[in-house]
Structures are given as C-alpha cells and as structure tokens.
Amino acid sequence: MQIYDEKHNRWIDHRDTAEYRQRKRRLRDYWSVGLLATLPLPPGIQVPLIVLAIFVSLAYLDETPYAQTS
C-alpha cells in the first residue's frame, strides 16, 4: 500500500513509514519478552501461546488504510 507524503511530495510504501517501523520495533521487544516467559512452560502450552502471538502480531501490523481527513 502506498501513502502520499505531502511534505516531500512523493508516494512512499506503508512499510517505510516511521509509524510502521516503530510498531515493528515494539513488536520485536514483545516477542523477545514473550518467548523468554514461555521457556519454562511445557511444549503443550508453548505452542498455543505462540500461535496466538502470531495472530496478534499480524493484526497489530495490519496494513489497514488510514482514515482520510477532509
């Protein structure tokens, strides 16, 4: 998805925006803490927690178009 950058008069990819990069960094930190927290748990509990974390991560990074303000 492309977003128009009015300040620099150009189109940029959604993944190149500062907001998206910030979300990715925050998500990386959450994953690190979450994986460390699940290490002492048995595999039967780890797998569902990791699958849930994957879906939450994808929803968090969803490329939903921004609301247009008029």
pLDDT tens sequence across 54-70: 999 988 888 665 555 54
The answer to whether residue 50 sits within a structural domain is yes
pTM of the model: 0.66
The answer to whether residue 43 sits within a structural domain is yes
How many structural domains is the chain composed of? 1
pLDDT tens sequence across 13-52: 767 777 888 888 999 999 999 999 999 999 999 999 999 9
**Distance between CA atoms of residues 25 and 4, nearest Å:** 23
Q: Are 21 and 12 in contact (CB under 8 A)?
A: no
The answer to whether residue 12 sits within a structural domain is no
Domain with 54 in it: 18-63
